[in-house]
């Protein structure tokens, strides 16, 4: 077996509307509806599925908790410009730009929280 890529990640959230607004407005993701009215956020060929904390979708998910995620998204362009765009959207950067090591080696990152206090990392690899 060889894993190719991440397809989707599930975030448990307190407020679907607030989360959808944040990721669409701040990060430019696309809101999508699937299944029996479930919500997700698509970016590129991947997505974030959203589970409302007060309505568990899958009883096998034992410890789904809002604010427990920590994930990194690779962005295009200059990281300082990306950081400025995030700040213009009213989101404070809590760290960065800083040097980090990602799946493909050295990268530069900024960090901030989403409305549920999931830690979001945006990063760029050197060209």
Residues with catalytic roles: 121
Q: Are 118 and 71 in contact (CB under 8 A)?
A: yes
Q: Are strands 46-52 and 70-74 parallel, antiparallel or unpaired?
A: unpaired
Alpha helical stretches, state H, 5-112: 16-27, 79-88
Distance CA 31, CA 18 (A): 12
The neighbour count for residue 85, using CB atoms within 10 Å, is 16
Q: Are strands 119-124 and 70-74 parallel, antiparallel or unpaired?
A: parallel
Q: Tokens standing for 14?
A: 């307190």
């Amino acid at each position: 077996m060889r894993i190719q890529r991440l397809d989707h990640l599930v975030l448990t959230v307190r407020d679907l509307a607030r989360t959808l607004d944040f990721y669409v407005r701040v990060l430019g993701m696309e809101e999508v509806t699937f299944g029996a009215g479930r919500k997700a956020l698509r970016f590129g060929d991947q997505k974030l599925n959203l589970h409302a904390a007060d309505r568990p979708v899958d009883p096998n998910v034992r410890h789904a908790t809002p604010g427990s995620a920590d994930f990194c998204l690779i962005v295009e362009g200059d990281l300082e410009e990306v950081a400025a765009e995030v700040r213009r959207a009213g989101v404070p950067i809590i760290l960065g730009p800083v040097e980090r090591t990602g799946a493909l080696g050295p990268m530069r990152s900024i960090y901030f929280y989403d409305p549920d206090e999931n830690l979001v990392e945006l990063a760029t690899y050197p060209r």
